Amino acid sequence: MNIHSVNECSFIFLSCSARCVIKKQDKPNKSNNDKYHQILNAAIKVFAEQGYHKATISQVAREAGVADGTIYIYFKNKADILFNFFSYKTRRVFDRFKGEVEKVDHAEDKLRNLIRRHLGEFQRDPNMAVVFQREALQARYIDDAYIKDITKMYLDIIDDIIVQGQKEGSIRNDFQSGLVKRFILGGVNEVINTWVVTGVKYDLVAMADPLVDLYFKGIGLKSRNIQ
């Protein structure tokens, strides 16, 4: 498993074997149809409750309140439903991420807004968070090229913040940007994962400010010489 499959895919942004991976494809015109979204949301609820492997098309149809055959009007199979859900969410989430970042001027504020929105998107949709942690972070059912594309989009946002912070003097210049990006993304991913594993019982967004403070201040009081 490559590094893009785990720590760099913590918001979306999403294999039975190499032969059954769903390839990146254009979204159908049906994506504007209410029933399309009704099925997507029902499927993610079922996947979260039953687990992707155990979930069936019949269960999804029952949750969505449609006939089994209706599912196949909109989706090829169960894996296609999962791909469509994360692909759709990715487009919407990135627009929100960029909007939050553009609201403020300084790098620290930009990162704080980005992470608040990131955590907020998962808190708003716990079923998505559960399925994402179980499936998307392991790059199952999703073409690896797609994983790399959405990962790059997110890392580009962070990279712009890092460059600005280095110019402002709020972020150190003596670290490689790649290391800083992975440090940030790894921390966010672990916070989300812990929230999911412990049953989504507390305020996830409340973790944003302490996390950003940790990024900028570290955990040490001061440097010292050890004899």
Contact 23, 143 (CB under 8 A): yes
pLDDT at 219: 80
pLDDT at 195: 95
pLDDT at 110: 97
pLDDT at 107: 96
pLDDT at 222: 66
58-83 burial: b if 16+ Cβ within 10 Å, else e:
ebbbebbebeeeebeebbeebbbbbb
In CATH terms, the superfamily for domain 3-24+82-217 is Tetracycline Repressor, domain 2 (1.10.357.10)
Q: With a cut of 70, which residues of the chain have pLDDT below it? A: 1-32, 136-148, 222-227
pLDDT at 145: 62
pLDDT at 213: 95
Amino acid at 107: A
* Count of Cβ atoms closer than 10 Å to residue 56 Cβ: 12
In the numeric block, which tokens belong to residue 76? 């090829």
In the numeric block, which tokens belong to residue 58? 């019949």
- Give the CA distances from residue 16 to residues 10, 52, 84, 116, 119, in Å, rounded to whole numbers and listed in that order: 21, 11, 17, 34, 29
pLDDT at 140: 52
Stated pTM of the model: 0.77
pLDDT at 27: 44
Q: Cα angle at 53 between 81 and 5, to 5 degrees?
A: 70
Q: Cα angle at 99 between 97 and 103, to 5 degrees?
A: 120
